[in-house]
Amino acid sequence: MNTETNREPTNQEILDILQEECAEVIHAISKCRRFGLDETKSSTESSNRQRLTEEVMDVLAMLDWAVERNILLDDIPDIVEVHFPAKRESVRRYCAYGDSVNA
Ligand SMILES: [Mg+2]
């Protein structure tokens, strides 16, 4: 890669890379579920937990860039204070519903 021609990504490229990083998170989660969080292929490689953490950090980095570009809304404090607890409650309801369906 020629670093002398570095340029800022377009908004479309930010979305493309965000999409790719989300897919990498999906892949990393699959490895964690199949082989366990602490599995490593060799003593020199990182664990599935480490790879998942790195991929989530990649997604967070791209989300931050998307906010900076105004691709996403920038009221992050509201998202953390309002959306995060609401999402957890939604997931808890979904889990309880799943339990009732599978009972
Ligand atoms: Mg990645």
Rounded distance from Cα 82 to ligand 1 centre (Å): 28
Residue 87: Cβ within 10 Å count:
11
Rounded distance from Cα 101 to ligand 1 centre (Å): 36
Contacts of 40 (CB under 8 A, 6+ apart): 46, 47, 48
The predicted model scores a pTM of: 0.85
Contacts of 47 (CB under 8 A, 6+ apart): 37, 38, 39, 40
Q: Containing domain of residue 99, as a range?
A: 74-103
Is the pLDDT assigned to residue 95 strictly greater than 90?
yes
Domain-located, residue 99: yes
**Mean pLDDT score across all residues of the chain:** 93
Domain-located, residue 1: no
Same-domain pairing of 78 and 97: yes
Domain-located, residue 98: yes
Pairwise pLDDT comparison (2 vs 65), residue with the higher score: 65
Same-domain pairing of 21 and 49: yes
Same-domain pairing of 52 and 88: no
Rounded distance from Cα 53 to ligand 1 centre (Å): 10
Same-domain pairing of 51 and 14: yes
pLDDT category, 80, cuts 50, 70, 90?
A: confident
Task: Tally the domains of the chain.
Answer: 2
pLDDT tens per residue across span 45-78 = 999 999 999 999 999 999 999 999 999 988 777 8
Same-domain pairing of 79 and 98: yes
Contacts of 34 (CB under 8 A, 6+ apart): none
